[in-house]
Each structure stands twice: as structure tokens, then as C-alpha cells.
Amino acid sequence: MGSSAMGASILKNKLKKAGLNIVVVNAAIEEIPADADVVVTHENLTARAKSARPNAEHISINEFLDESQYDSLINNLDKSKTNKQEMVNAEEKNVILKKENILVNQMSVDFETAIRQAGELLYNNGYVEYDYIEAMLERERQLTSYIGKGVAIPHGVSKAKERIKKSGMVVLQYPDGVDFNGEMAYLIIGIAGVGNEHISILSNIATAIEEDAEAEKLIASKDADLIHSIFTSK
């Protein structure tokens, strides 16, 4: 929703009555969550909202307190509920690591820049708040995220858990390496973990890099699909 708390309250109540478990928040345009699927704004603000969140579905209304204007939105969501549920269930397993969040053949940078790049990818995909990036750098100053076999797994300090919106993981591959205080990392795996949702992928990563040949394949591959398959397979 736009910044109208009253409008958000009306929509929440209607969604609840329709049996739709959808999160509704009201926010200023510059604070619209990065992972918002649908953005409802006053018609005078829709253009700005589209510019801020171009990938979301945008709905314009001319009066936040007119409950009838929400009815078509409720109906559309209700109709798509059944069709989308199967797709959501199928994708749930791998949603923590999406193929589009695996960036191969990146140009070498210093380790702080690499961590920032991973953090910004987490932020841009709605997994974390922007402050989480600084928490990743703070963690790096405390203890290196380099774990061996050409892999570094940066993440935020413990107190930054509140900056995580949902579990997510991103992978950046640097064929020429990134120097982590004398250790060369070729895969930077940025993590934002809530609960144990990301543990299965971490387990796959650990298994994959145990074998030198497999680790070298991950470092050299230009195929994001291959990396995704290795990291998300059971």
C-alpha cells in the first residue's frame, strides 16, 4: 500500500475475510519493500511508485477509504490463489537461491567491494535491509569469511538478524579471484539466514567443495544453471 494506514487496514480486513493470507504494509514511496508483489497507490502517485518498483504490479485508486475499489483486487487474488499455489509449492524448495542470483565471470575486485556486491544483491532481491551490508563488513572485520577451497561465505553479525526480511542466498563467481588477506576466493556466497531454511543449501555447498575436481568445476563454470543445480540438489 501507499502511505495510507487506513487504506492498508481496510485491505487487510478484506483479505482476511476472503481467506487470503497476504501481508499488507503501508509505506512511503521511497520505502516500498523491494519484494513487494503488488503496489496500491493513489492515482496521483502511481507514476512515482512504478519508477521506484518497476517489477511490481501496480494498482491505482482515487480514494483510499472507498472500500469498493478494493473488490476487483480481492477477486483477482482469489481467482489466482489456486493456480499459484502449486507453482509456489514447486518453487519453495529452491527459492532461497534463485538462478538469477548466481552471477558468473565477474571482474576481480577487493574483498570489501565483493562483499558489498553480494550484500547489494541480497538487498535488491528483498532479502535484507540495506544496513545488513555494513553488518556483513563488520563480521568480516571480526573473522574472515574465507572457508577454504576458494570459497568465502560472508554474512552479517548476529545482531543483524533483525535486518533480515527472509532467507536468501546469492553467488558471485570471480574467475581471477578476490584476495581475502592472502587467501584467494573465487566463489563469494552471500547469505541471509532465518532459522534453518538455508541449511540444506549450505550442506550441498560443503559437499560440493569437498572434492577438488568439483570445486574447480564451480570456479571455472560459466553456466549458472550448473552451479544452481549443484547447490540446490538433494
How many Å apart are CA 99 and CA 226, to the nearest integer?
Answer: 9
3-state secondary structure of 55: coil
So what's the pLDDT on residue 60?
A: 84
Q: What angle do CA 189, 196, 194 make, to 5 degrees?
A: 70
Domains, the chain? 5-87 (3.40.50.2300), 99-232 (3.40.930.10)
Indicate yes or no: pTM above 0.75: no
How many Å apart are CA 79 and CA 76, to the nearest integer?
Answer: 5
Which residues in the chain come in under a pLDDT of 70? Answer: 1-9, 63-67, 77-94, 196-198, 200, 234
* Residue burial 142-152, b: 16+ Cβ < 10 Å; e: rest: eebbbbebbbb
- What angle in degrees, to the nearest 10, is found between the helix axes of 224-232 and 199-210? 110
100-126 pLDDT tens trace: 999 999 999 999 999 999 999 999 999
So what's the pLDDT on residue 94?
A: 38
So what's the pLDDT on residue 18?
A: 77
| Residues 209 and 203: beta-carbon distance below 8 Å | no
| Per-residue DSSP letter, 100 | G
How far, in whole angstroms, is CA 205 from its chain's centroid? 19
Within 8 A by CB and 6+ apart from 62, the residues are 42, 43, 69
192-219 pLDDT tens trace: 988 766 676 777 778 778 788 888 889 9
What are residue 46's phi and psi, to 5 degrees?
A: -60, -40
As given in the structure block, the three cell numbers for residue 25 are 504494509
3-state secondary structure of 137: helix
